[in-house]
Structure formats: structure tokens, C-alpha cells
Structure 1
């Protein structure tokens, strides 16, 4: 059985929920989870990964050259979303390339 969090939700379920609505649910869990470092990591990774993908998507949208790349960014986002939710639910602290390292570093610095 998974460890409980300060929210009363099991750690693996809270980790999955951090990714459910992309960076929005990540932000919510970063604000409400005060103790569990694993859930805070998943929350920060969700913010960095999906916030970054949203920024890239917006930049491509305003660029005529980038418009053909938008479906590719959407597909990468979908695959990342599914994979990160599965890994979190399995209790694995999977670090996504680049954003996982940033999340691990930044989650220690952010105390809300």
C-alpha cells in the first residue's frame, strides 16, 4: 500500500492527479501538498513539462512556420501525459528528460 500524503490521498493516486489537468493540477498539488516530497516532485514536474509544452505550442501558433509542427507538439504532450500518469500511479518517481531534473531541483527551493 502507498504512503498517505498530507491531503489524505495515497501517494500514487496524488502523483497521478498531479498530471491529470497538466500544469494546472500540478500547481494545485504544489500548493496543497506540504509534506510529501514525491507528490511535490510530480506536481513540479507537471508544471515544468506541461507549462513548457504550452509555451512552445503558443509560440508555434503565432509563427506561420511553426503551425505544421503543432500536431507533433500535441502528440508529444499526449504521450508524455499518459506515460507520466502511469508511472506516477505505479509509484515510480520517473524523471522526464530536462523537465524532471529542473523539477527535482526547483521543488526543494519552493516552499509554499
Structure 2
């Protein structure tokens, strides 16, 4: 990854990890001038946000609070990994699911 590309997209990438609102803002910011580094982290966070919704609306009601809590902790750890990658200027994929998120949301 080019150093200039990382510099230009770092702020947008970091913003994308600040809740779903930050992801939406980062998506809009990245729409006008596409940055590959920012797009990478936006795709990662969109995947995490969708998993979080599934956790809240599917896992919690059907499998209970304990299962939902365990999944929530796992999602939080994955969020930390992605957030640290954005801060350090690295395209660090989220373990297990990062490749899938990049493939599923490649249009972003």
C-alpha cells in the first residue's frame, strides 16, 4: 500500500470504526474521492455492523443472553483488531471473516 494512499485515507478509515454512524459518514466521505485504504476498512466495519445486528436480532432472542454476550465480546475483539489496524495504517483483515467482508462488499 502506498504511503500517500494511507495518509489520505487514514482519517476516513478511523471514522468508519466509530459506530454505524461513523461507518455511514466514512462511506459518504469516501464516495467523492475513492481511497483504497479507507474502502478496505469501511468494508471491514460494514461486515462487523451486520454481524452485530444479527447478534442483537437473531442470536439474542433465540439462543439467549449468554450466547449473545459471548458473540458480542468476540465482535468487540474483532472491532479492536480492525481499529488498531486503521490507526497503524495497515490493511489488517479481521480474523476468520475479513476475506469474506472484502469479497462481499467489493463494490464499496
Task: Specify the TM-score bucket, using the shorter chain as the normaliser.
Answer: 0.7 to 0.9
Aligned pairs for 1:62-101 within 5 A? 62-63=61-62, 65-101=63-99
Q: How many aligned positions are there?
A: 104
Partner SS, residue 3 of structure 1: helix
TM-score, normalising length from structure 1? Answer: 0.74
Aligned-residue RMSD, C-alpha: 2.4
Aligned pairs for 1:1-112 within 5 A? 3=4, 10-21=8-19, 23-34=20-31, 35-63=34-62, 65-110=63-108
Which structure dedicates a bigger proportion of its chain to helix? 2
TM-score, normalising length from structure 2? Answer: 0.76
Once residues 77 and 107 of structure 1 are traced to their aligned partners in structure 2, the CA distance between those partners, rounded to angstroms, is 18
In structure 2, runs of 5+ residues without a counterpart are: none
In structure 1, runs of 5+ residues without a counterpart are: none
C-alpha displacement of 1:78: 1.8
